[in-house]
Structure 1
Amino acid sequence: MTIRSKPPIDLFRGWPNPSLHPTTALQSATTSVLSDPSRSAPALGYGPDAGDPRLRSEIAKWLTNFYQPASPIDADRICITGGASQNLACLLQVFSDPAYTRRVWLVEPTYYLASGIFDDAGFAGKLKAVPEDSEGVDIEFLEQQLEKCESEEGKNSKTPRPWRRIYKHIIYTVPTFSNPSGLVMSVRRREQLVRLARKFDALIIADDVYDFLQWRSKRRTGTDCPKKAIAPRLVDIDRVLDGGPKDEFGNVVSNGTFSKLIGPGCRVGWAEGTPKFAYGVSQTGSSQSGGAPSQLTSTFVSELLSTNFLQEYIDNIIQPVYAKRYHIMSAAISDGLPELGVTVTEDQEFAGGYYIWLRLPSGLKASHLAARAQREENLLIGEGTLFGVEGDSSHRESRHDLEQYVRLCFAYEEEGDLKQGVERLVSLIRREVGRDTPGIQRIGARSGLSEDGL
């Protein structure tokens, strides 16, 4: 079969499959809101700075039920946003200053589109990679690097505001089902990271965007999809660790979104932090001028939460469907890739998110493989160097190491194409290994499979 006769398969795109968009429920929620003048009038207005009060309350109850924190989450800890990407930009506007904030630290491999948001905020040249280890962020490396920055001076160039705190450092991470590696940061490492942030005046921006997409990495009888969070969020740890936050702002913000649960076009998310931090997010200039982000859509989401539709949809549709897709791709990987020296990087009890992160055998370069996959197999995959921290010249060795990895997405393509896509990759790697056999150093495959856009 020539490339012309092979239908395209996209295992790179990190989007949900359109069949998972809850269009019927959204239509019903829209009708419910717009047919009631008492609700449609505020829905079509500017909205309060912090967002629709009903949605804030519903999110607080929903998160309390899922994460089971030490005490219930209050609505004043929640600020409605236009999604995780939009809010990342807002957080940087309010709580950082390129003239004062020393560095932005990104756990590497990282979400590959985050760098552009940090660049736009004025941090070009200040982005630094922090390696991942088996527990998450390499805490010893990060502490050493933060120590080196202690002697640097910065001058705050932003107007002081009572709702604003400018942090010396920003730490960006996806702690649960990290994109792209799929790693879940251990609780021990989360506590260490919060303590480190407090010590060095850092704000941890935790993209908690995949937490509701979780299942057992190996099939078993009974339920494979937990109904509660498998780990506490960093923001929950900051609430209680060592007596709680050291000031009114704290050192962690949870950046959440409905993009993975309802659809990216929804453009509704939330930030959670201390009440003063959440208020600070609401005081972003664009929100003060334009009103709450995604005000109209927020009222539809509120309807989905208040009727318990969304949680039931997650439990009965989204999690089982993604678990099935994950296992289809995992089985195809197990059938053909381990014998070629390809390994799945993490062996965890729970998998989740959208992605599987593969390590190639020594001698194969991901960028070369991805180019050939597109040219010869009509197959798109994510090559590892995309997930390096842009502009960090001090980590050339990590960029070289990322050449040994590829990311595959099981969320977007149809189920039958997931298996076929992996089979095309197997065929391509087999040709590559056959061509370069003398230079290939096989890596023993591990039996466990696990896995992880804004």
Structure 2
Amino acid sequence: MATQSPPKLINLVRGWPAPSLLASELLSSAAQQVLSDPAVFVPALQYGPDPGYQPLREALADWLGRHYNVKPDPERICISGGASQNLACILQSFTDPAYTRAIWMVAPCYHLACDIFKDSGFEGRLRAFPEDEEGVDLEVLEESIRKLEEEQGKPQNKTYKDAGKYRKHYRHVIYVVPTCANPSGKTMSLSRRTGLVKLARKYDALVVCDDVYDCLQWPVGGELKPPSQWPPEMKLPRLCDIDLAMGAAENDPRGFGHAVSNGSFSKMVGPGIRTGWVEGSPAFAYGVAQTGSTKSGGSPSQFCAAMMARLISSGELEDYLEKTVRPALQRRHALMMDAIHRYLTPLGDVKVRESGLLGARTYGGYFVWLTLAGGVSARVVADKALRDANVIVGSGDMFQVHGDEERLSFDGAIRLTFSWESEEDIVEGVRRLGDVIRKVKEDPAQWQQEQLARGERDDGLMNFK
């Protein structure tokens, strides 16, 4: 008797743009323009200035200034090799394992950031704090920082590194994704953004904001409009802009600031472009540019930065986001939500967040966060979905803060991604997931025992973004 072949593998955990959303034609045109003009390609193919390719700094300042309604200032921007590389440079330049006391990560967290913090000497010092419906829970975070300060006493003068003239060491680092968070999809309210900046100033903390989804938002069930016509809830100020508007803090005489924006083109044109930026105070941007690997390499991503400068200056990037990327993500998100309401919510005890910002009909980013009630284990569901239905989903335990997993558990949560698979497979994947959840709910003890008998799952899934 012939065995039945397994169904097609559907990956609902991979947080990559779909191949159809890679801006290959735009990049090809931009590359040809750059390479056709010696006045452009010679500096683009050479070592660049430490803060990055100046035309891109200027183009970004103008574009982001219009988007966030702030005064354009290229001196606030340092070009990076992408958001992840930039986070590593920030830690190299502005933290010291002997002085910086802890890394505070909102949980559930972007799990792959944990290893970047560990590589900078903070193994065992990653601390989780919770979200609520408005984003970060400021009361819990401040109480946790206060207790740690009391336990450890005054900072020691001993450090491993000399910050020098152009950098400083922060006592704490707070890592958040304020808009369309990965994985929860939440958007932090304006009051929480302001409160978080004030808290950071009080405790000499640096808030590192991954702002990679700010330009990837849309109305839920509404008409897409250009960013100039977006409602206020889709253009909330970045924490770095709130910090700048407050003026210099008393504990920051050199004006480094207490919040920085980590930006990237990965979700706009393609991760392989490996180009991003940090925006903060001019002093902070220059300090990041003094990172040793940047000074040695001469500005990361110099050639790609030249291409991106062309796409921004010409308006082609904004046009591509408006007419191609956002409509595709809005459509994919709507399909996933329809499938969830068709196949999952009728099962009972399955809840899904309907918007990014509390009280607003807007969404954005790549992810949908489900919660399972009734004692159903998301890890059991995820393991069974892969084994029996050939569907990969992200169980909540993937997104716990490494080393502080017991503080906040997410075994009752699942992250689904709507950016990667085809529209048809998004719907089919959710349908298969519904079958799996129904079977687990019928006899959860059986599946728990089966999982224990099979042993631990392959945590290679943890490597997916």
Question: 1:435 deviation in Å?
Answer: 2.6
Give percent identity, aligned residues only. 47
Whole-angstrom distance in 1 between the partners of 2:168 and 2:374? 47
Whole-angstrom distance in 2 between the partners of 1:136 and 1:225? 26
8 Å CA contact retained: 1:3, 1:376 = no
Whole-angstrom distance in 1 between the partners of 2:442 and 2:225? 39
Letter in 2 for 1:159: D
Question: 1:396 deviation in Å?
Answer: 1.3
Decide which of 185, 191, 194 is 1:191's aligned counterpart: 194
The residue that corresponds to 2:212 in the other structure is 209
The superposition leaves residues 110-136 of structure 1 with CA deviations (integer Å, 9 ceiling, x where unpaired) of 001010000000000110001111111
Is 1:21 the counterpart of 2:22? The answer is yes
The residue that corresponds to 1:447 in the other structure is none
Secondary structure at 1:279 match in 2 = helix
Whole-angstrom distance in 2 between the partners of 1:214 and 1:53? 28
The residue that corresponds to 2:431 in the other structure is 423
Question: 1:147 deviation in Å?
Answer: 1.0
Is 1:63 the counterpart of 2:64? The answer is yes
Whole-angstrom distance in 2 between the partners of 1:89 and 1:438? 44
8 Å CA contact retained: 1:3, 1:377 = no
Secondary structure at 1:117 match in 2 = helix
The superposition leaves residues 8-67 of structure 1 with CA deviations (integer Å, 9 ceiling, x where unpaired) of 100000000011111111111101111111111001101100000000000001101111
The residue that corresponds to 2:453 in the other structure is none
The residue that corresponds to 2:411 in the other structure is 403
8 Å CA contact retained: 2:107, 2:130 = yes
Whole-angstrom distance in 2 between the partners of 1:378 and 1:256? 34
Alpha carbon RMSD of aligned pairs, Å? 1.9
The residue that corresponds to 1:444 in the other structure is none
Letter in 1 for 2:392: L
The residue that corresponds to 1:445 in the other structure is none
Superposition misfits of 4+ residues, deviation over 6 angstroms:
none
8 Å CA contact retained: 2:389, 2:432 = yes
Q: Where do 1:151-170 residues align within 5 Å?
A: 151=150, 152=152, 153-154=155-156, 155-170=158-173
The residue that corresponds to 2:384 in the other structure is 372
Per the alignment, do residues 281 and 431 of structure 1 end up closer, same or farther by CA in structure 2, a change over 3 Å counting?
same
The residue that corresponds to 1:315 in the other structure is 322
Whole-angstrom distance in 1 between the partners of 2:446 and 2:114? 38
Secondary structure at 1:147 match in 2 = helix
8 Å CA contact retained: 1:379, 1:424 = yes
Whole-angstrom distance in 2 between the partners of 1:379 and 1:15? 16
- Using structure 1 for the length normalisation, give the TM-score: 0.92
Per the alignment, do residues 202 and 397 of structure 1 end up closer, same or farther by CA in structure 2, a change over 3 Å counting?
closer
The residue that corresponds to 1:172 in the other structure is 175
The superposition leaves residues 266-297 of structure 1 with CA deviations (integer Å, 9 ceiling, x where unpaired) of 00000001001000010000011111001111
Whole-angstrom distance in 2 between the partners of 1:29 and 1:346? 38
The residue that corresponds to 1:350 in the other structure is 362
Per the alignment, do residues 438 and 424 of structure 1 end up closer, same or farther by CA in structure 2, a change over 3 Å counting?
closer
Is 1:295 the counterpart of 2:302? The answer is yes
The superposition leaves residues 279-318 of structure 1 with CA deviations (integer Å, 9 ceiling, x where unpaired) of 0010000011111001111101111111100000111111
Whole-angstrom distance in 2 between the partners of 1:122 and 1:289? 22
Whole-angstrom distance in 1 between the partners of 2:51 and 2:166? 13
8 Å CA contact retained: 1:214, 1:226 = no
Is 1:260 the counterpart of 2:272? The answer is no
247-256 or 347-356, which deviates more? 347-356
Letter in 2 for 1:205: V
The residue that corresponds to 2:146 in the other structure is 147
Per the alignment, do residues 437 and 387 of structure 1 end up closer, same or farther by CA in structure 2, a change over 3 Å counting?
closer
Which blocks of at least 5 consecutive residues in structure 2 are unaligned? 448-463
Whole-angstrom distance in 2 between the partners of 1:224 and 1:419? 26
Letter in 1 for 2:314: T
159-168 or 261-270, which deviates more? 159-168
8 Å CA contact retained: 1:239, 1:245 = no
Is 1:235 the counterpart of 2:275? The answer is no
Is 1:306 the counterpart of 2:326? The answer is no
Whole-angstrom distance in 2 between the partners of 1:202 and 1:338? 41
Which blocks of at least 5 consecutive residues in structure 1 are unaligned? 440-452
Secondary structure at 2:103 match in 1 = strand
Decide which of 344, 358, 367 is 1:337's aligned counterpart: 344
Decide which of 362, 382, 386 is 2:398's aligned counterpart: 386
Question: 1:437 deviation in Å?
Answer: 10
Secondary structure at 1:259 match in 2 = coil
Per the alignment, do residues 397 and 281 of structure 1 end up closer, same or farther by CA in structure 2, a change over 3 Å counting?
closer
Whole-angstrom distance in 1 between the partners of 2:445 and 2:395? 22
Letter in 1 for 2:113: A
Whole-angstrom distance in 2 between the partners of 1:3 and 1:430? 22
The residue that corresponds to 2:441 in the other structure is 433
Letter in 2 for 1:433: K
Is 1:271 the counterpart of 2:281? The answer is no
Letter in 2 for 1:178: A
The residue that corresponds to 2:459 in the other structure is none
Whole-angstrom distance in 2 between the partners of 1:145 and 1:313? 43
Question: 1:336 deviation in Å?
Answer: 1.7
The superposition leaves residues 201-259 of structure 1 with CA deviations (integer Å, 9 ceiling, x where unpaired) of 00000000111110112x13x43675444311111110113x45543101011000000
294-303 or 340-349, which deviates more? 340-349
